[in-house]
Amino acid sequence: MNGAGMQDLVRRLYPLCRSITGEGLRRTLQIIDESIPLRITQVPTGTKVLDWTIPREWNIRDAYIKDAAGDRVVDFQDSNLHVVGYSAPVEATMSLEELRGHLHTLPDQPDLVPYRTSYYAETWGFCLSQNTLDGLGDGPYEVRIDSTLADGHLTYGEHVIPGSSAEEVLISCHVCHPSLANDNLAGVAVAVALARRLSAPRYTYRFVFAPGTIGAIAWLALNRARTDRIRHGVTLACAGDPGDITYKRSRRGDAEVDQVFAHVLKGTPHTLLDFSPYGYDERQYCSPGFDLAVGSLTRTPYGSYPEYHTSADNPDFVRPEAMEHTLETLWSAVQVLEGNRRYQNLSPYGEPQLGARGLYGSLGGRSDTKQAQMAMLWVLNLSDGTHSLLDIAERSNLPFQALADAAHSLQSAGLVKEWMG
């Protein structure tokens, strides 16, 4: 899936009214399932998940504010951002003064509609541009939100690509936001593209598409016994804006996945952030009881671009080339994770004679002969069971793939073996 294909998926998902529960969420997972098969889990309302409880399911069919002439001055059918997420049903006639406490705008961005939710405190409200609000008269207004809050389910989906090892790499995306393209449909599209590219990996790759916070907590609660299989992981969000790549380290700070992203981002414009217990679902995976090695990959981080959580975060804001760049960055990290191993030099006393084993001759005519030779020497010198190929890449300033190729050649010649200690 290329950038255009990822943007097509973003455009298809964009109109759906997603939330932490409900039909919009389930329809989103159904569409993802058309590209990569998902195993769907439904968690009933009232289920205790760690310190949380699955809330009632929210669904909405229509909502509006009508003026005295019967015109919809605020219309859910125009944008699902116009209704505060999880709004309770309401049907009333109100003056503008009575209505104001239920209206949300962005005075500093008067053309835009904000995104607001109220998952756990029952209320209702509308979001509109400040310009629209400024143009409203005193009323009266017909106010209607045709929604339901009832026992139902929280739904999440998983796609698993088995590897030769049962150890897992976790790729997690939240799928609870309504019409917001960068946060987080671009991340969903990149995850789908990565899943379609992976084939016969070393690790088992687990893709989790779940509503933010409560969805990740539910997944952790239901999979508590298997979390020790997760060796590396990343949350994906804000993957399509024009900003540079940002990687936020895991709680551990020096986990292998943190080292891998620092390595693959060298030489490109990027930002590395230390862990903080605020952000996306990495804070759930990195909670101290689990302490999983899960970082966060974004472009411009949440809250740091003016379109964030507004109607300006639309499909035209995300760029195909930006999603492709995010995908290729993630793919480079995956390639390093897949190839990173420790080796043991089987001829550690003095430098072994590489020419006698045909190793120098096999490099003849290559444009990177000198680099390949140096890669072999570095792998031989540091293959003592304590240095991984990534460690060697960092110390030698040689490309990781050159060192992985060198290790393969040396192993074929019987000079090193994979360290199993």
Any idea which residue has 């480079």 for tokens?
332
Residue 241, annotated as binding a ligand = no
Looking at the DSSP assignment, which residues form a beta bridge with residue 158? 39, 208
Q: Residues 6 or more apart from 349 whose CB is under 8 A from it?
A: none
User: What b-and-e string marks burial along 54-88, b requiring 16 or more CB atoms within 10 Å of the CB?
Assistant: bbebbbbeebbbbbeeeebbbbbeebbbbbbbbbe
Q: To which residue do tokens 């993957």 refer? A: 239
The answer to whether the CB of 194 falls within 8 A of the CB of 327 is yes
Q: Which two tokens stand for residue 189?
A: 């599209």
How far is it, in rounded angstroms, from Cα 112 to Cα 127? 10
Q: At what angle do helices 256-264 and 320-339 cross, to 10 degrees?
A: 130
Chain-centroid distance of CA 91 in Å reads: 38
CA distance 72 to 126: 13
Residue 171's nearest CA partner among 256, 230, 226, 238 is 230
232 marked ligand binding residue: no
Task: Compute the radius of gyration of the chain from its Cα atoms.
Answer: 26
Tokens 């907590």 appear where? Answer: 217
Nearest 5°: phi and psi at 210?
A: -140, 155
Return the structure tokens found at 357: 């084993």
Asked whether residue 183 is marked as a ligand-binding residue, the answer is yes
Six-digit token string for 87: 């709004």
Binding residues are 177, 183, 309
Q: Which residues participate in the annotated binding site for Zn(2+)?
A: 177, 183, 309
